[in-house]
Amino acid sequence: MNATPPLPPQTVWEDLVTAALLGTNRRTPPGAPPGRTAPAALLDAAAAETVRRRAG
């Protein structure tokens, strides 16, 4: 399986903000796991990225 390289932290945060502003119907959150709803995936990803940003 071909894995994509991780995105820089700033790009991930910008993608999450864009998905939140446009809505999950128009923009899928980056790295959304299969089988989860887009809004829940967006909240999970935003929470994890917030912890990373604060810890860094």
| pLDDT-based confidence at residue 5 (cuts at 50, 70, 90) | low
| Res 30: pLDDT | 76
**Is 43 part of any domain?**
yes
**Is 15 within the bounds of a domain?**
yes
Helix (H), strand (E) counts: the chain: 2, 0
Exposure on the CB side of residue 11, measured as CA atoms within 13 A: 6
pLDDT (average), residues 8-33 = 81
The pair of structure tokens assigned to 50 is 């917030």
| Averaged pLDDT, 18-42 | 80
Q: What is the pLDDT of residue 35?
A: 63
Q: Is residue 1 part of a domain?
A: no
* Residue 47 located in a structural domain: yes
The pLDDT of residue 19 is above 80: yes
Cβ-based neighbours of 45, under 8 Å, separated by 6 or more: 12, 16, 29, 30, 31, 32
- Has residue 30 been placed in a domain? no
